[in-house]
Structure formats: structure tokens, C-alpha cells
Structure 1
Amino acid sequence: MRDELQDLVDQVAGLLGAPATLEDAAFTLLAFCAHPVDGGAPVDGGAPVDGGAPVDATPVDATPVMDAVRTRSILGRGSAPDTRRWFEDFVIAGAEGPLRIPADPAAGILTRLVLPVRHGGRTHGYLWLLDGGRTDPTDRADPALARARELAAEAGRLLAQREWTAGDLGRPLATALTGTPAARAQATRTLAAAHGPDTALVLVALRPAGAPLPAGWRGPGGGAISAVLHEEDRPAPLAAVLLPVRAPGDLRPAGALAAAALAGLPRGSTAGLSTVARGVAGLAERWDQARTAADVAAAVARFSPVAHWDELGSWRLLAGLAAPDPAVSPLLADPVLTETAEVWLDAGAGAARAAQELGIHRQTLYYRLGRIEELTGLDLADGDARLLVHASLRCARLRGNGPAAG
């Protein structure tokens, strides 16, 4: 969407021969175009183009191209509150056609043409042009102005699409994660129009414990999009939350938001966070990451209540196992030996450390390890056998039939 808006601004600037700036209804800068003056110089600074005069040497017959308002808007990515109030005094929010804003020399403000960016009977933003007063906003016979109005209307359509609320986008999010391939593609395009390709996003899975989501559950705010997903392989629905992230390398705000959302769910509920990526491509893969992280958080106490996919280590791979190896099934029937095997394997097969953690004598540990070999038929001196047992135990834990989470 950003490229489309930039293209529209470039076209308007070219049509009317003036620098153009696009802001949304909250006066946040969306795009701008530095239209060259007659001398070939870029109007917003920089080196001359094609040997033309630099900006501060603009010919006297060239359009004034820069004032304090435009400078602050570009540098600050939007207009200051006092500037906004000054423009709003000209009733621009309700205008349906072009308006002329007079100059204010005392404030360093040049005259400008404003094209309201409208769609569906609402104003979604403004196109500002520093045209030096050349364009008559009431001239309906001006073909350049007529075309500029059409482009402003197209910008309005794009901004209206961008302004979908989080509630409106819940259904597209659910479809993007669980729908058919064709439906996913359409839903992803809808989400992309809302967020753009450069927005850093993390996907959060909320996993209620022992009960469905409370009636009337609502997702967190903060620009998040939420959806409740009923998946065939799940006994209870999960909640998916798509959250913008300001600093891709810092997931603390996302983790805090997930923890706050868990406060409204049954005790023991968990959350999982996907990797952070820009845009909405690969949402289905990120959803697999998020719900796997939530499952691991529910099974392994050290990851609870909020687990990050990037921190799961081997659990990421183990979550993809369909079931424990049959050789380990007899072991799983004995809770004491199951715990012994897992603690010993987690300790790197170190007897002293495992015995200490279990609170037993080392000889007792050796006896139990012998019993484990008898039950499984595996030689625990063999590294492959230990890997098989370890992976199977963790797989069993993720599926709820392993030892108590530790």
C-alpha cells in the first residue's frame, strides 16, 4: 500500500507542478514528493539535478517549495498539534473538494492547495501542494485539477482499506491461519493492506487450560488483531493475536501483552510467541510456531506461562513427532522410572547430578537405569538409544502422557 500511495502522490505533484505531501486524518505523514522546480533542483534539498541551481538559489519565477510546516512534517513524520489546529480552522475535515489555504507570513507558512482524501463519505486524509497559489480550487474546467481529484479519491479508497479496525480483521486473520489455500491468499491480502509490507509482526497463541475461552472474550488492544480458532486437532479453541512490534529484537512488550491476556483466562493457561517478521507472508508457519510454543509452555514449567519459539531449542523439533517410539511405551507406564530417565538424560547422563536432583543414592539410580534398559530393551550406553528415549519422553510430555512438568 505504501508504494501505491507514493505513486499517487508522485502523480499529483507532476500534474500540478508542485511539491505534494500526503497525511492521514490524524496528520501523520504517509508520503511526499519533492517536485523539481524549473531550474532542475530538487525542492527539498540535495544536489542539483541536470546542472540546475541549488534550492537556495531558486529562480524568482519558480514556485516557492518549502516552508516550516512542510519541513517539520517531513522531518517529524507528521504535523504538530498547533499546525493541525490552524489547518482545521479552515474546516478542511468537512470539505468535499479542493480548498485554498492562505499564507501566514508571520508563522512562515506558505499558501497551499489541499485536496481532501475522501472515501465513503468520510475524510481519510489530505493531499497538500505548495503551488504558490497558481491553481484555482474552484476551476472545474482544469483537467489537471480534475485528474488530481480522481487520484485523491483513489488514495481515499486505499486509506479506508487501511483503517479497518482490529475487530473487522479478526475474521481475515482466522482465515489466513486455517482457511483453504485460496481463502488464505485473499485474507492475507486483506491483512497486508492493513499493515503494509514493512510492519514487524509477531503472532501470539493463547492456550486456555481446562476450559474454553470465556464467553465474550476480547483480545488485547495496542493495535492487536485477535481471532478465536476452532481447529480439528484441538479439543478446545485457541486464540490468535497478531501484534505489531516496534523493535523487532525486543519481544518484551509482546510478552507482557500476552501475560496480561492470560490474566483473563483459567489458571494454567499459556501463551506462545512466534518469530518476528515483517509483513504478513508466512502467517500459517508463524501460527505453527506460536501454538507449538504455547504447548511447550503448558508442558514444561521453565517455559511457562509465555514461551518464545526462538528459545525452545530442541523442543521445536520434538513437537513435530507424531508419538513416542513404541519401545518406550513400557517405561511411560512407570512414573518413577520415567522421571528418573528424564532427569538423568537432562543431566547429560551424569549420575552424580541426576542422583542429587532426584534426591536418591547413586546406587539406587544405577538400579533404576538397569530397570529402564530391561523395560525398553535399549542399551543406555549407546548414544542413539539415549536420544531415542529422551526424544520419546519429551514427545510424551507434549502430548500430556509424560512426567509432571519440570
Structure 2
Amino acid sequence: MADLQDLVDEASLLLEGPVTLEDRRFRLLAFAAHPGATDPVRVETILGKGAGPQVRAWFEGFGIARATGPVPVPGDPERGIGPRLCLPARGRGVVQGYLWVIGEGSRYAPERVAAAMHLADEAGEQLARQVSRRRATERLLHELLDAGPAERSAGARALADDLAVAPGSRAVVAVLGAAPGQRLSAESLRGAGGLPRRAAVGDAEGDVVLLLPLVGGAGADDPLGEARSLVERALGQLEKEDPGRTVVAGVGQVVPLAEAGDSWTQARAALRVVRPEAPAGRSGPAATRVHAWDELGVRRMLGGSHADALAEAARTPAVRALLAADPELVRTARVYLDRAGSVAATAGELDLHRQSVYHRLGRIEQITGLDLADGRHRLELHLGLLVTDPDGGGQPG
């Protein structure tokens, strides 16, 4: 059976023109170069391994997602799009992708187009089989993550066999999420997304779960480092689907594959702590996008089932009063407490005179009613700021 690249090469020779094959999300799967002019969108697709959302919407406006035969698509000079012919790659009754032929559709002989449609259908069947295989992997992933102690070993063996890794491999689970109300889809990461074959991907109630078997070995100095780069790549792919969306990841501990359910629990808890707020007025990637459970420190308290009660308990009247005050006082308190009560270190970080720091600390004590010389009072304020204002924004929780 010819692979996808072979089918694209054959179609290019048959039609004597440049051809690309993309999946339903317009991600590049294969292409065949051909002498002659092309257009900027084809270059973007090849170099960027996919078209942007606006270009996708424009093409889909011609009905290609439901087409059963060739669809001529006119050019649009303003968009940098030349004319082309779309051959829907159908498999198992639906369009699985698109075989694009650059150039006016009328230039291609009907019998050659009909022969190329057979190649497109063969590609569609291959893509349909890939979709079925990925769904099977997702089922095995969730069976392992939800397995009880008695079923874990069998679940690990089944998933390891599917991913072609050793059952004794170590792995890490990450959960990727956006702001409340924004749903992500694992489909964005399946197929041509840059993740290795050994990565298992699944949907998780509007979030996306990744299980990443590691190949660095038990003695690796930074076992999480290997996973971080893959998680970052996945986040980038999700944000490419919607450039205005902020996506972050909670990452569990590195564990034996059979114990992936424990890493899954930690990853979900970490995401509860760091999930972006409502997206109003926000754009661009977050400064820190990958948050490991091991690195959350005291903020782990906010990832448990009683997180709301703990957060409310930390919002004492003193903490609320400070958060409602001048943000510069909040920042001063944060730096002072983070620097173990060192006035010199606080003055250096804030670029202030020491006397100015003392003045601000006095104002903080007046507003909160706390004595910053008392360790218990410092703990109350520090813990309250950490769990109600983790990013130091100075906004009431």
C-alpha cells in the first residue's frame, strides 16, 4: 500500500502540477514540489506546516468539507491566494483531508482529475484508519488513568504496546487548559502536530491530557525537562488554532507508566491552581505556561478538593484590606515577605531608599492591623498573598 507521500507524488506526476495533502484542520501531511509559480499561501502551508484560521475559514466557505468531488477554488490576490483545485480525500463516508492542486481547475484534463480523485480517496481511507487508531489509543489512555490498583499493570502493558514503548517506562502526565468556558480539543494535537508517536493524547472535559513516556532513562538529570519541551510544543499548537487564547499546562510527577494515574491526579490539581482567568482583555501567551506540581510549593493547597475553603480561610480581613489598598503597598509586602523580612533586599529590588521601605511597611501595618515583627502575623499576610494574589497583581481575590 502506497504511503501518503507516494500518493501525493503520483498525483503531482499525473496532473503535472504542484500538489499538497492536508488533513481536515489544514495541517500539512505531504507535498510534491513542481517547477513553476506558486502562491504565498502554499509557501506558508509548507513552511508553517499548516494554514492559519482565517485562510482555513475562507477555503471552507466553498463547501470543501462536505464535497464529494473536485471543487475549483478561485484565486484571491488580496489574500495572496492563487487559483487551485481541491480534491476531497474522503474515507469512511466523510472528508478526512484535502488534496490541493495549484492552478486553474480547467487546465487539468477531466480523465486525469478523475484518476487523481481515486488517489485522494485512497489517502482519505488511510487518514480514516489513522483516526480510528488514535481513538483506540485515547481509550487505552483513559483506561490506564482511571484504573484501580489491580488493573494498573495490565493497563500499562496495553498502552505501552500501542505506543511502542517498554511497559516499565517512566512517564509524566500533563493537562492543558484554557480560561473557564473555553474548551480545547485533543484533535488539535493529533496527526501533524509535531508530537512523537509515543505521546498519547486525549480529551478531558474541555481540557486536553497528554501522557508522555520518557526516553532519557532513570538516571537523567532533569526528567521533567524532556517532557517540558513537548508540552510547550503542544501549547503552541493549541494557541495556533486560536491566537487570542491563553493556554497553560499542569504537569504531574514522573512516575512508572503503571502509576500514571497518580501523575494525572497531580496534573489536574496543578491546572486548577494555575488556570488562566476569564479571557477578557487578555492576549498573547502567559509568561509561564508549564507548571509542575513539584514546583507549586504552598500553592498546592489550592489544587485539592477543599481549595475554595482554604483560599477563603487565607483571605483574612487583614489580607483583604491590603489587597484593596495601593498596589505598590501590596508589591512591597510581597517582596519584603519573599525576602525573609530584609529591608535592604526589599529596597534593592524595588529601587527604593531604605527609609521609603520603612515608611511603606508602617503603612502596611496601619492598613492591616498586623505587626510585621511578629512571625505569626508575617505568616498570615504572606500565606494570604500567596494564595489570593499568586501573581502579585494586587487585585482583590
TM-score between the two structures when normalised by the length of structure 2:
0.49
Please say which structure displays the higher CA radius of gyration: 1
TM-score between the two structures when normalised by the length of structure 1:
0.48
